[in-house]
Amino acid sequence: MRITVIGTGYLGAVHAACMAESGHEVLGVDVDVSKLAALSEGRPPFFEPGLPELLRRAVDAGSLRFTDSLQEAGEFGQVHFVCVGTPQLPGSYAADLRFVDAVVDGLAPHLRPGSLVVGKSTVPVGTAARLAARVAELAPAVTDGEADPELAWNPEFLREGFAVQDTLTPDRLVVGVTSERADALLREVYAPMLAAGTPYIGTDLATAELVKVAANSFLATKISFINAMAEVCDAAGGDVVTLADAIGHDPRIGRRFLSAGLGFGGGCLPKDIRAFMARAGELGVDEALSFLSDIDEINMGRRRRTVDLARELIGGSFLGRNIAVLGAAFKPDSDDVRDSPALNVAATLQLQGAQVRVHDPEAIDNARALFPTLDYALDVEKACERADLVLHLTEWREYRELDPTVLAKVVRVPRVLDGRNALDVDRWRDAGWTVRALGRAHH
């Protein structure tokens, strides 16, 4: 099938490569010509494990190419995936939908009869119905016997670091449609996944939109819950890791997303729960989601708590102190620094007088673009040189595998604050380090 993917950022580039891998002929569309040039050479503009190989294979095979023309896209494709961003609107909790609107307005006049526009962007409920009406209004008239272009919604559930896997072998496919024909087209698009037994949930447009934000809100709630428990453990002398292990054995609760620490960041969870609250207010049911405000506050409070604990460890003041920050990306196996808790803490420490040096295996360039006044190091030992305190803030495997005995020789004082509760505390203490972690005050 001929498929277009409009927007070749994180979601779009992965989706385009995976659709080509699944046997489709794919055209990627973007306004950023430098990004298109890199993708056309098989080079993704961001770090994602497995994507460069997939992209290069598709480009070399001729099953994936790129353009900046929506007219070309409309004339080429039968199914058009909309994968542009919906960032938080400045001065508001609401989502900024101008990129999605612009794509639909620009594409619709060029749609062929029978084509299907499929939204994958995360949007407030009700957006799909509005855009469906826009497609019907702007699409060219069809002749007798031809089907009108229409719109469906198919939210993405990608985890950065696992995006290729999540696209090729998803844990479910959620599809909001208004016709049997649209449903049949999407079943054809995803035939390899369905043949492998992927659950397929066909529903209406509104439910499809809500599934995405509901899932993200639940995950955010679970993370903030265990971080609230970490706060209680700090006050009461408990151990949040043991607590999480214990309650995680309950099958109704489960252990995943119960790792206490610095909290969540990135380009999805924070802005999605805020946009969900904003939309609930517009629908007149803001009280139903008022708890999400507490979830957001608990999450942001973890950053403040990390700074406070670092100050306490270092003797009450950051002035003149050297601090090494291990991690800049918001999560491991990614170079994404959007709303990164690690970078937020690093910048706060610098503002309060510390000399901060940051290391990350993949995100240094993106971090430097966002926070150019921080110092950066290309290897861990250089970052930790003469440090009075080391902060472990992104859970990269290479940080968990560090040799604390070797690192102790380059720091000024062997003190570490584990903001992710991921280091082997006994191993670090045996190497002479003072170790503190969120929610483990006496452990």
Residues labelled as active-site residues: 268
Q: How many CA atoms lie within 13 A of 290 on its CB side?
A: 5
HSE-CB at 199 with a 13 A cutoff on CA atoms is 5
Tokens found for residue 241:
């890791």
CA atoms within a 13 Å half-sphere pointing along the CA-CB vector of 142: 17
Q: In the structure encoding, which two tokens stand for residue 167, read together?
A: 């696209």
As a whole number of angstroms, the distance between CA 394 and CA 329 comes to 7
Residue type, 134: R
Bridge partners of residue 322, in order along the sequence = 355
Q: Cα dist. 110→15, 57, 117, 333, 398 in Å?
A: 22, 30, 12, 39, 49
Residue partners of 283: CB distance under 8 A and separation at least 6: 125
**Residues 316, 312: Cα–Cα separation, whole Å:** 5
Q: Is beta strand 150-153 parallel, antiparallel or unpaired with respect to 322-326?
A: unpaired
* Residues 6 or more apart in contact with residue 60 via CB below 8 angstroms: 42
Q: For the chain, what is the largest distance between any 2 Cα atoms, rounded to a whole number of angstroms?
A: 80
Q: Which residue has the tokens 């991690």?
A: 327
Sequence-separated (6 or more) residues with CB below 8 Å from residue 204: 176, 177, 178
Pairing relationship of beta strands 375-376 and 200-203 according to DSSP bridges: unpaired
